[in-house]
Amino acid sequence: MERTFIAIVVQNIDNTQRNQIQETIKKYATSWWHEFLDLWILETDETMIAWRERLEVIFSPGGSQLLIINVADTAPRWCGFIPYDQSQWLRENIRGSRRLLP
């Protein structure tokens, strides 16, 4: 599979689960951006399904939530109010329209 970008968003997780997700991403992703607590955008050569299957063992039944979105397309975009020093990975990897904070 060719390089793609996916967003992983989680909700209702504890710090142990958050750390497990981060360690999994460090191990398997090519690169990633993680400046918001429960959001990771990563570069990978694997499918969203592969990531869901890899991460699902971390989640508690009935409480935690996981959403994975493919953010790669012919014109990837992002926008927001993000400090310049926190947006380097986004600027280098995902073309977009943005307004950066000093």
Q: Model pTM? A: 0.78
Report d(CA 77, CA 53) in Å as an integer. 27
What residues have CB less than 8 Å from 31, skipping those under 6 apart? 42, 43, 89, 93
pLDDT of 54 > 70? The answer is: yes
Kindly state the average pLDDT of the residues 50-69: 86
- Residue 44 or 90, more confident: 44
**Spatial distance between the Cα atoms of 68 and 66, rounded to a whole number of angstroms:** 7
Please list, in sequence order, all residues whose beta carbon lies within 8 angstroms of the beta carbon of residue 81, skipping any fewer than 6 positions away: 99, 100, 101
The total number of residues shown for the chain amounts to 102
For the residues 59-82, what does the mean pLDDT come to?
Answer: 73
Domains in the chain, start-ordered, CATH in brackets? 4-75 (3.30.70.240)
**Mean per-residue pLDDT, 28-39:** 95
Q: Is the pLDDT of residue 75 over 80?
A: no
pLDDT surpassing 70 at residue 71: yes
> Percent of the chain beyond pLDDT 70?
78
Q: How far is Cα 93 from Cα 5, in angstroms, rounded to an integer?
A: 9
How much of the chain, in percent, has pLDDT values that exceed 90? 43
